[in-house]
Structure 1
Amino acid sequence: MSATNYPELTQQINRQLSSLRQSQKPTMQGFSAMAQGAMAAGVLSEKHKELMALAIGVSQRCAGCIGFHIKALKRLEATRAELDETLAVAVYMGGGPSLMYAAEALQAWDQFEAC
């Protein structure tokens, strides 16, 4: 498992992107609007959409994605059982590399739980 501190990583990414948010406002606002639209509750709940986003982040091996989606899942009061089932699907779809990043997601979960 990595030495990644996921709460710190998400804060660092937000800080690093602040200049891009200023210099590329239309693009960044468009991305934000797309994210808000895609993640808004509809037929699927926001929590279910965050679980799907986490699974994709795990399968794509994106540490930042794992951090942000775990943070959102904690806010949405997802359970450890929901997390575990989501990670099982991600591993099924992504194989061994996804299993390694599932461990990262579990680490992020524990770190955000401690916050």
Structure 2
Amino acid sequence: MLLNNWTQSLTNNKKASAGFAKNNPQMMEAFKQVNLAHATPGVLDAKTRELIALAVAVTTRCDGCIAAHAAAARKAGVTEQELSEALGTAIALNAGAAYVYSLRALDALGEFAGNQA
């Protein structure tokens, strides 16, 4: 089952970036450099970096990131089982973040008790 045409999404994002690059070349170059730094081998191998990238893409709800990093993850040899386990961590942290920010919202509401605008 396909929820999205990820290959087409990746292609569309690459094509659409031309206008952004023309209008803001410094930012585009900086973005390219960030991506190159991400892809540079270090202590973590490519597979691990792409698993992390996909978990972060899910938590930030970025379809473009999902498309780009799913393609890179496949090239790095990531399996569905490995990705499912990494995504379990993303789900757990998203739920945790919603809980912590719920506490913050309640705290903020409490701070403004009695303060009428």
TM value normalised by structure 2: 0.73
In our comparison, the structure showing a higher alpha carbon Rg is 2
Go from structure 1 to structure 2 and tell me whether the alpha carbon gap of 1:3 and 1:44 turns closer, same or farther (over 3 Å shift): closer
Distance 1:65 1:19 in 2: 19
1:30 matches 2:30: yes
Q: 1:11 to 1:87 in 2, by over 3 A?
A: same
CA deviation after TM superposition for structure 1 residue 2, in Å: 7.7
1:52 is matched with 52
Residue 6 of structure 1 contacts residue 67 of structure 1 at CA under 8 Å; is this kept in 2? yes
1:43 partner SS: coil
Partner of residue 74, structure 2: 74
Q: Does 1:42 align with 2:42?
A: yes
More RCO (CA 8 Å, sep 6+): 1
2:8 partner letter: E
Aligned-pair CA distance for 1:64: 1.2
**Structure 1 counterpart of 2:71, one-letter code:** K
Query: Does the 8 Å CA contact 1:39/1:50 hold for their aligned counterparts?
Result: no
Query: How has the CA–CA distance of structure 1 residues 2 and 74 changed in structure 2, closer, same or farther, with 3 Å as cutoff?
Result: closer
Equivalent residue number for residue 86 of structure 1: 86
Gaps in structure 1 of 5+ consecutive residues: 96-115
Q: Distance in 1 between matches of 2:6 and 2:41?
A: 26
Structure 2, gaps ≥5 residues long? 96-117
Matched residue, 2:12:
12
CA RMSD of aligned residues (A): 1.7
Q: What TM-score, normalized to structure 1?
A: 0.75
Q: Across the two proteins, how many residue pairs are aligned to each other?
A: 95
Query: Following the alignment from structure 1 to structure 2, what is the Cα–Cα distance between the partners of residues 71 and 38?
Result: 15
Match of 1:61 in 2: 61
Aligned residue type for 2:88: A
